Chains A and B, each alone.
Chain A
Amino acid sequence: MCQSVPEGYDSQVLTPHDYPLWVKLFAGFAAVLVIASFVKLPGFLNAAIQLKKSDQQFDQKNYAESAQIALQVLKENPDAQKVRLKAAKALFSENTDDSVNQAMDLLKGQKLDKYDWKELAPAMSPSVQKQFKTIKEDD
């Protein structure tokens, strides 16, 4: 909030650009975070670029290539759930015995929400879909 000085306000004018030490420290901390953000950026950015390439391959129906790229990203970011799902979707779409088994291995023990399921299910054959168990129905 910012307000003009009220009538009769009796106070000294503050010296311009003279900030309390803790405010300077806070600004320094924010600057350090910005620098750290840029230092950490290349690794994550590369993963995002690779994932985009995987999406492009998928759109061109090059499912094997798409899966390979997504699996490489997943290897470097094993906790990336969206990457896991994209890899599984590409493998299901490739639709060979090996790729379907590999996709099932990727999803073993994973909980999929209704949005994940909506994304993945069309890539699966009905027999594969039957192998998934509903653990809680959505409202």
Chain B
Amino acid sequence: MFFIPGFLIAWLTFPGVICHEFAHRLFCDLAKVPVYKVVYFQLSNPSGYVIHGKVPDLKSAFLISVGPFFVNTILCSLISFSAAIPFFLLGDYKSTGAFGMLQIWLAISIGMHAFPSKQDLDNFLQKVVTEKNKFSPLSIASRFMSVSFFLARLASFFWFDAIYAIIVMMFLPCVLLAFV
């Protein structure tokens, strides 16, 4: 096990931070929640943040907190789609080339920042526990997601965020191959 300071990881994977904050901002706008300040990336801690107004309901909280997870995951998968095949399935590291390496770096960076931060998760949990209708599909999905994210945050100590990015990169090529 090796440790790299968090700020250094954020610097090395800054496209993922930008993407994550962009998605927060986008979903705040879509949920019609006022946004007061956005820092897409900065060298100091936290590496990016969004300050927004009061979130009216669980649906909006779900969009704002969980939205970046889906945006980063989908982007990670799509950007790396062609590069993941030679790199992971063919073991062809040479002809992956500079462009392929750029795809892989960008995909890993974006995939690593898919999970909500502690603050995101706290905000989301606050809405989940105060939700009145505990058995609505959204409430059940929200509880499931918040437990999953909590476990993922714990596992990030063991580089789970990077492992998740690699799994996402391999997912589409493997699924496609399974069906052809």
Please judge, given known A-B contacts A13-B53, A36-B99, whether A44 and B86 are in contact too, CB under 8 Å.
Answer: yes
Q: Which residue of B lies closest to A14 (CB)?
A: B35
Please judge, given known A-B contacts A33-B103, A79-B93, whether A41 and B52 are in contact too, CB under 8 Å.
Answer: no
Are B86 and A77 closer than 8 Å at their CB atoms? yes
Q: Would you give the shortest CB distance from B6 to chain A, in whole angstroms?
A: 12
Residues of A within 8 A of B64 (CB): 2
Are B92 and A52 closer than 8 Å at their CB atoms? no
Chain B 54-94 per-residue mask, 1 if CB under 8 angstroms from chain A, else 0: 11000000001100000000010011111101100111111
Are B75 and A34 closer than 8 Å at their CB atoms? yes
Please judge, given known A-B contacts A2-B65, A34-B78, whether A23 and B40 are in contact too, CB under 8 Å.
Answer: yes
Q: How large is the interface on A (under 10, 10 to 19, 20 to 34, 35 or more residues)?
A: 35 or more
Q: For the complex, what is the distance from the CA of A23 to the CA of B51, rounded to whole Å? A: 17
Are A4 and B81 closer than 8 Å at their CB atoms? no
Q: Would you give the shortest CB distance from A46 to chain B, in whole angstroms?
A: 10
Show the binding face of B for A, using Cβ within 8 Å. Answer: 15, 18-19, 21-22, 24-26, 28-29, 32, 34-38, 40, 46, 48-55, 64-65, 75, 78-83, 85-86, 89-95, 99, 102-103, 106, 117, 119-120, 123, 173, 176-177, 180
Show the binding face of A for B, using Cβ within 8 Å. Answer: 1-6, 9, 11-14, 16-17, 19-20, 23, 26-27, 30, 33-34, 36-41, 44-45, 47-49, 51-52, 73, 77, 79-83, 85
